[in-house]
Chain A
């Protein structure tokens, strides 16, 4: 049984695999058993109403939230508490997991006491253990990739929201992650700044990055989403492929689509 699952995973080149993920805050269960599989190069889009548990799912993937129960696998290695009743699985450390997975937040979360450049230099030095010179070179190149090389010496407070989010993306990418998680990366932005961030994400998607994106930008989702997941109240309601937005049939999904468009 286990061996066959492993073989299947190999065949599809599975990167992330959530199985039966439940999460309880206090006495309130907010995820009631989530299954999600992300293959290499795949672009998964999560959407659904506010409070439905999208962020919690995303944060379970890199263990910012540790599931109460359920399996969180990355490249076949178990990082979660596992499924009840199964023998204790092989466990990797959260630190190792996070070194392969990048994350971009709704509020950017740049470090305000550091310049744009040093926001990227810090993790390169402390996680990748690069020398100061190598880290600075690499950080500058990452900024150049998102069109912000000239802003290297600026502090987050001196930059627009769109620029800050592009620095945050550059920071995550500089560590060469295998999967990128985006939690509503454009929701905190003024409408005219959304485009520049989506452009960077689009380029990343075209380049073959494995991505899991929570977004209300249905246009973007329609364009890049290979696997679309609609969630409500801690459950996956409906999923689908490229044609999901035209073919989804569940009344809750259709109602939500209507409210967002």
Chain B
């Protein structure tokens, strides 16, 4: 039953035939070009982070427009429906090549990448913010208004923090998508991960090794970003959960505890219980 298999099936013979038909896999290439991969990764992250900040801001403005009055809500809806349908590749070619033909102004590949992502993702973020804002009970803004807070203050200190907490998991998912979308910017010559991989490949002809490496980098980035966003969720969760989140909020806790202590001392017991 546990007899050793016939070596002729996949033993020595199989290896031999493999080594005959296949090229060699030079995994050493990855290590030799590690700084190229590193800078490609850094550039992909830089473009996507700038685009994230811009598209979150613009997305929020769009969401408010979408929830606003007649003409404004129409334009916001039109923008959202148009731009969430455009692929990143089309968007970046349009911005980088199309825009310069139209106006004579040339964006750098970095600028074009940021603009292309911002145009698309602000449409998605608008919808994410809108549904998060609409999920808040009306009693929240009413309480703020009844306390005499102005509408902008109610928005920034009461609605936005709660909406952000609701939106955070979706924002995290979208951001992972944005990082992956930077891969198409190879067509405008942005030296991100895929462009780096193609450059090395054109000299070494090792597509399997190199694109496996590229894939692994993207997967690691996704894991890392997921971890960061989960930690953020824990920081914003009430009560605070998890060691990292508790460490981040520990100063607030200490401050409140010392305040409790000082007030207890100032007036013992009498009005403590009622």
Contacts and interface: CB of A to CB of B under 8 A. Distances in A.
A41 to B, nearest CB: 22
Given A64-B142, A144-B271, A111 B147 contact: no
A144 B256 contact: no
Contacts of A89: none
Contacts of B161: 113
Contact of A109 (B142, B153, B165, B262): B142
B272 A144 contact: yes
Interface string B230-274: 000000101100000000000011011101101110010001111
B238 A113 contact: yes
Interface in A132-157: 136-137, 140-141, 144-147, 149-150, 152-157
Nearest to A166: B274
Contacts of A102: 146-147
A155 B149 contact: no
Given A144-B263, A144-B267, A153-B260, A126 B149 contact: yes
A112 B136 CA distance: 11
What bracket does the count of chain B residues touching chain A fall in? 35 or more
Given A140-B260, A144-B271, A111 B145 contact: no
Q: Which of B139, B238, B239, B267 has the most CB of A within 10 A?
A: B238
B87 to A, nearest CB: 37
A149 B272 contact: yes
A52 interface: no
A160 interface: no
A127 B137 CA distance: 22
A62 B144 CA distance: 12
A7 interface: no
Interface in A87-104: 95, 98-99, 101-103
Contacts of B157: 122, 126
Q: Which of A62, A109, A152 has the most CB of B within 10 A?
A: A109
Main secondary structure of the interface of B (DSSP, over half): helix
B148 A127 contact: yes
Interface in A16-65: 62, 64
A107 B136 CA distance: 14
A175 interface: yes
Given A141-B263, A200-B274, A203-B274, A113 B162 contact: yes
B271 A64 contact: no
A206 B148 CA distance: 25
A172 B142 CA distance: 13
B147 A172 contact: yes
Nearest to B270: A144
Q: Which of B150, B255, B259 has the most CB of A within 10 A?
A: B259
B139 A105 contact: yes
Contacts of B238: 112-113, 155-157
A109 B144 CA distance: 9
Contacts of B271: 144-145, 147
Contacts of B165: 113
B260 A150 contact: yes
A240 to B, nearest CB: 29
B162 A152 contact: no
A205 to B, nearest CB: 14
A227 interface: no
A127 B149 CA distance: 6
A79 to B, nearest CB: 13
A143 to B, nearest CB: 8
A109 B140 contact: yes
B158 interface: yes
B259 A117 contact: yes
B29 interface: no
A107 B273 CA distance: 24
A77 to B, nearest CB: 16
B267 A175 contact: no
19 contacts: A95-B148, A98-B147, A105-B143, A111-B140, A111-B144, A113-B236, A122-B157, A126-B149, A126-B153, A136-B259, A140-B263, A144-B263, A147-B271, A152-B256, A152-B260, A153-B256, A155-B239, A157-B238, A199-B274
Given A109-B140, A111-B162, A113-B161, 12 more contacts: A64-B145, A98-B147, A110-B143, A115-B256, A117-B256, A122-B157, A123-B147, A126-B157, A127-B148, A140-B263, A144-B267, A149-B272
Interface of A: 62, 64, 95, 98-99, 101-103, 105, 107, 109-113, 115, 117, 122-123, 126-127, 136-137, 140-141, 144-147, 149-150, 152-158, 168, 171-172, 175, 199-200, 203
